[in-house]
């Protein structure tokens, strides 16, 4: 094998320009894929974190039918107290869950006594909400840091609404809401903080204490609209969600609940899917580049060395060895290209990190580009390139191994 | 004992609808350690006959035995193994592997064909490079060697696997007379040193006289066999 590799390497160096051109082609393809994967992985991770850690959580539990009519924030589809207790029990026993928060979600009118506008509000327990949504407080532009900004009688107001109505921290405002039986109730609140917007439909909601929400809506029971859950390991989302669903649905009295992962609740999941599709097609392009590049080189290599193949075949070299000679050549070309592409690609990713490039995305400004790529991803892409190199070499190598020496020796 | 036995061997090629008989009804016996020349004009069937004896081609009719093996019945793999173990080849254009040095070219059959251990390989290569007078150029690549030097390396390569028979197709055609003469003498010396039979084809009248057996072919037929001056008509 060592000698076959040596011959393969020397043959590659024999046509230096062609070899380096092909290596360059593979490397450039690799670099594109690595940089794209790293940037999109960072973007996806950043966006998913922004959405799930700001307001959505990783998993949500609702009464059956709630999500279908979520735009109306239907109070009649809240989870009743006895179900909430059973769900709480199950969540506390589940070691994969880091935290959970119970919310009452409702729509109402928000007034500064001069102007009135619509607002969507989450009534939450401040401590539980902060543990489940660790990026909620960092979104505070103004106001007291910590759970105190959401203490009773206070309200967190989304930035755009605060700007529109010209309200600031400490101002007194009125929130008017229609409760389940259709009667209207109003309550004054002090603005405890202004929240910057987060991407997605829940990113412009206001927050108040859950007991204030119940008072406003004249709820006597401790019912909730949703329970948002934060799990310890997001990469294990599907398994944890599935296990939780199986456990809860199997519990008597919890048949009519629904469990959704964030992917089912946020339109950004579609963007993630689009990014994944784009990544897939970029990888497909890389495969095509490697396949065509190496196949072209190897077909040429076989064609140019027909007499040489005839000579070694005449000397008694078994067809299998001739096959390996060319396979090693293609494999080496792919491996060297993959290594070169990885070296330059990783260097480029590190350089992008060191440049600290900032940009804006929607309402979010000052985002720092910090592309990252997992070792497993790099290894996978390298393996893909090496594997495709092997496939691309198979046909020319097979052709070489099957040549009749007498015909090959006659080749001019 | 005959090393090569051909019985009623013919070879036909089909060029479209036309049948071309490259060799016809050849009966031939060559003993071990012989030094034989196939002579005749272009198209007389010299190369075809060498290819048939070497297991590179199969006869249309007849039987070929080399070293006790019935070459005409071999499949691809058997033919390759037979060539690797029993036959050495020397080509008109030397056909050295360009990416290997002279010594590596000689070593090639011991690595890729016979798989011999390294110490044995090194000794055999060194001995042969010395024997063909190329020891001082063993690390040079083919494009750094003259035609004569390349053919010396090719002779060493043909002998390194210790075959019973070396087939050389026009080994001197691309060489000047002095070099051609030295190559033929080298082959003779190797024959004497290793008791390997040599069969070479040529139409160069200046080196025909060096052969001990001269077999003349015309239009694919064996027309005469001359052994050290004794002419036997076929």
Task: Give residue B165's pLDDT.
Answer: 93
Task: Give residue A364's pLDDT.
Answer: 66
Higher-pLDDT residue of A253, B64: B64
Task: Give residue B66's pLDDT.
Answer: 93
B128 close to B106: Cβ distance less than 8 angstroms: yes
Q: Is B139 exposed, middle or buried (0-12, 13-18, 19+ CB in 10 A)?
A: exposed
Closest CA to A131 of A101, A86, A109, A104: A101
For the segment B27-52, the average pLDDT, to the nearest whole number, is 91
Concatenate the DSSP letters of all residues of B173-217 into one string. Answer: TTS-HHHHHHHHHHHHHHHHHH--EEEEEE--HHHHTT-SEEEEE
A352 close to A358: Cβ distance less than 8 angstroms: no
B84 close to B91: Cβ distance less than 8 angstroms: no
- Residue A187 phi, psi dihedral angles, 5° rounding: -150, 145
Q: B66: Cβ–Cβ under 8 A, 6 or more apart, which residues?
A: B3, B4, B5, B53, B55, B82, B86, B87, B164, B165
Tell which of A14, A315, A400 to mutate to test the B interface (max B CBs under 10 Å): A315
Closest CA to A387 of A322, A321, A334, A333: A334
Residue A316 and residue B80: Cβ atoms within 8 Å?
A: yes
Nearest Cα residue in chain B from A315: B84
Residue A317 and residue B100: Cβ atoms within 8 Å?
A: no
Residue A406 and residue B84: Cβ atoms within 8 Å?
A: no
Give the whole-angstrom CA distance, residue B70 versus residue B48. 17
3-class secondary-structure state, position B234: coil
- Taking all residues of chain A, what is their mean pLDDT, rounded to a whole number? 90
Output the six-digit token pair for B120: 């044995």
Place of tokens 């294990």: A236
Give the whole-angstrom CA distance, residue A187 versus residue A218. 11
Distance of CA A358 to the CA centre of its chain: 20
Residues of chain B in Cβ contact (below 8 Å) with chain A: 51, 54, 56-57, 76-77, 80-85, 87, 89, 91, 93, 95, 97-100, 108-109, 111-113, 157, 161
Give the whole-angstrom CA distance, residue B61 versus residue A185. 110
- Positive/negative CA dihedral, A279, A47, A363, A56: positive
For the segment B172-198, the average pLDDT, to the nearest whole number, is 84
Task: Give residue A400's pLDDT.
Answer: 94
Helix (H) or strand (E) holding B61: strand B61-66
Nearest Cα residue in chain A from B51: A406
Tell whether the model's pLDDT for residue A363 goes beyond 70: no
Q: Of A7, A317, A319, which has the smallest distance from its Cβ to B99's Cβ?
A: A7
Give the whole-angstrom CA distance, residue B105 versus residue A313. 14
Any chain B CB within 8 A of the CB of A308?
yes
Range scoring the smallest mean pLDDT among A114-118, A356-360, B102-106, B123-127 = A356-360
Give the whole-angstrom CA distance, residue B180 versus residue B198. 15
With bands split at pLDDT 50, 70 and 90, how would you rate the model's confidence at A123?
very high
Give the whole-angstrom CA distance, residue A397 versus residue A356. 47
For the segment B14-27, the average pLDDT, to the nearest whole number, is 90
With bands split at pLDDT 50, 70 and 90, how would you rate the model's confidence at B162?
confident
Task: Give residue A2's pLDDT.
Answer: 79
- Residue B163 phi, psi dihedral angles, 5° rounding: -80, 165
Which residues in B lie closer than 8 A to residue A16 (C-beta atoms)?
Answer: none
- What is the per-residue pLDDT across A273-328, written as a single tens digit (0 to 9) for each? 888 899 899 888 888 888 898 899 899 989 999 999 999 999 999 899 999 999 99
Give the whole-angstrom CA distance, residue A334 versus residue A393. 10
Tell whether the model's pLDDT for residue A201 goes beyond 90: no
Over its C-alpha atoms, chain A yields an Rg (Å, rounded) of 31
Output the six-digit token pair for A165: 């109505």
- What is the per-residue pLDDT across A46-93, written as a single tens digit (0 to 9) for each? 888 888 998 899 999 999 999 888 888 888 889 999 999 999 999 999
A123 close to A106: Cβ distance less than 8 angstroms: yes
Give the whole-angstrom CA distance, residue A26 versus residue B179. 48
Give the whole-angstrom CA distance, residue A105 versus residue A206. 10
Give the whole-angstrom CA distance, residue A27 versus residue A345. 8
Task: Give residue B9's pLDDT.
Answer: 94
Task: Give residue A396's pLDDT.
Answer: 94
Give the whole-angstrom CA distance, residue A171 versus residue A115. 14
With bands split at pLDDT 50, 70 and 90, how would you rate the model's confidence at A141?
confident
Task: Give residue B64's pLDDT.
Answer: 93
With bands split at pLDDT 50, 70 and 90, how would you rate the model's confidence at B12?
very high
Tell whether the model's pLDDT for residue A362 goes beyond 70: no
- Residue B30 phi, psi dihedral angles, 5° rounding: -130, 130
With bands split at pLDDT 50, 70 and 90, how would you rate the model's confidence at B1?
low
Reported ipTM: the value is 0.89
Q: Of A14, A311, A319, which has the smallest distance from its Cβ to B91's Cβ?
A: A311
Nearest Cα residue in chain B from A412: B93
Tell which of B84, B95, B96 to mutate to test the A interface (max A CBs under 10 Å): B95
Task: Give residue A351's pLDDT.
Answer: 94
Q: Which domains does chain B have, with CATH numbers?
A: 2-95+154-233 (3.40.50.300)
Q: Of B51, B54, B76, which has the smallest distance from its Cβ to A319's Cβ?
A: B76
Tell whether the model's pLDDT for residue B181 goes beyond 90: no
């Amino acid at each position: 094998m060592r000698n076959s590799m040596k011959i393969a390497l020397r043959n590659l160096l024999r046509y230096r320009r062609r070899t380096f051109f092909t290596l360059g082609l593979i490397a450039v393809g690799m670099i594109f894929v690595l940089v794209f994967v790293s940037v999109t992985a960072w973007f996806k991770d950043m966006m998913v974190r922004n959405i799930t850690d700001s307001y959505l959580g990783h998993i949500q539990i609702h009464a059956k039918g709630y999500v279908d009519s979520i735009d109306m924030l239907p109070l009649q589809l809240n989870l009743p107290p006895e179900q909430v207790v059973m769900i709480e029990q199950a969540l506390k026993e589940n070691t994969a869950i880091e935290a959970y928060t119970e919310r009452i979600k409702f729509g109402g009118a928000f007034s500064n006594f001069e102007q009135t506008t619509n607002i969507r509000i989450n009534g939450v327990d401040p401590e539980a909400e902060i543990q489940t949504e660790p990026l909620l407080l960092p979104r505070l532009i103004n106001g007291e840091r910590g759970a105190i900004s959401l203490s009773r009688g206070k309200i967190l107001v989304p930035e755009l609404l605060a700007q529109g109505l010209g309200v600031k921290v400490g101002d007194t405002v009125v929130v008017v809401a229609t409760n389940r039986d259709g009667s209207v109730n109003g309550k004054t609140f002090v603005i405890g903080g202004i929240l910057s917007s987060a991407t997605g439909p829940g990113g412009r909601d206001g927050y108040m204490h859950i007991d204030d929400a119940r008072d406003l809506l004249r709820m006597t029971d401790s019912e909730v609209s949703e329970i948002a859950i934060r799990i310890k390991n997001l990469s294990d989302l599907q398994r944890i969600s599935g296990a939780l669903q199986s456990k809860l649905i199997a519990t008597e009295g919890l048949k009519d609940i629904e469990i959704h992962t964030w992917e089912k609740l946020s339109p950004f999941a579609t963007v993630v899917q689009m990014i994944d599709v784009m990544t897939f097609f970029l990888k497909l392009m890389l495969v095509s580049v490697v396949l065509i590049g190496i196949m072209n080189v190897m077909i040429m290599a076989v064609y140019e060395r027909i007499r040489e193949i005839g000579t070694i075949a005449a000397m008694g070299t078994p067809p299998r060895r001739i096959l390996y000679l060319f396979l090693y050549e293609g494999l080496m070309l792919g491996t060297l290209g993959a290594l070169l592409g990885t070296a330059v690609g990783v260097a480029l990713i590190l350089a992008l990190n060191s440049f600290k490039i900032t940009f804006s995305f929607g309402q979010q400004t000052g985002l720092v580009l910090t592309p990252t790529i997992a070792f497993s991803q790099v290894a996978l892409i390298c393996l893909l390139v090496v594997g495709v190199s092997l496939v691309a070499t198979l046909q020319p190598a097979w052709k070489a191994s099957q040549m009749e020496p007498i015909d090959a020796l006659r080749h001019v | 004992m005959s090393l090569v036995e051909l019985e009623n061997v013919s070879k036909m090629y089909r060029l479209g609808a036309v049948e071309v008989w490259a060799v016809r009804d050849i009966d031939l016996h060559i003993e071990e350690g012989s030094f034989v020349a196939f002579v005749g004009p272009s198209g007389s069937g010299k190369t075809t006959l060498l290819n048939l004896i070497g297991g590179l081609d199969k006869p249309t009719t007849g039987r070929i035995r080399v070293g006790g093996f019935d070459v005409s019945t071999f499949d691809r793999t058997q033919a390759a193994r037979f060539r690797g173990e029993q036959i050495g080849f020397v080509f008109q254009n030397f056909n050295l592997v360009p990416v290997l040095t002279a010594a590596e070219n000689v070593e090639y059959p011991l690595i890729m064909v016979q798989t011999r251990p390294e110490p044995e390989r090194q000794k055999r290569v060194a001995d042969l490079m010395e024997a063909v007078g190329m020891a001082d150029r063993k690390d040079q690549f083919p494009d750094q060697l003259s035609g004569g030097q390349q053919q010396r390396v090719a002779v060493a390569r043909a002998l390194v696997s210790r075959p019973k028979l070396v087939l050389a197709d026009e080994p001197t055609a691309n060489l000047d007379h002095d070099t051609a003469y030295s190559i033929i003498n080298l082959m003779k010396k190797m024959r004497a040193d290793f008791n390997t039979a040599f069969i070479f084809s040529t139409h160069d009248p200046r080196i025909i006289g060096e052969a001990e057996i001269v077999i003349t072919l015309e239009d694919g037929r064996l027309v005469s066999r001359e052994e050290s001056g004794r002419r036997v008509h076929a």
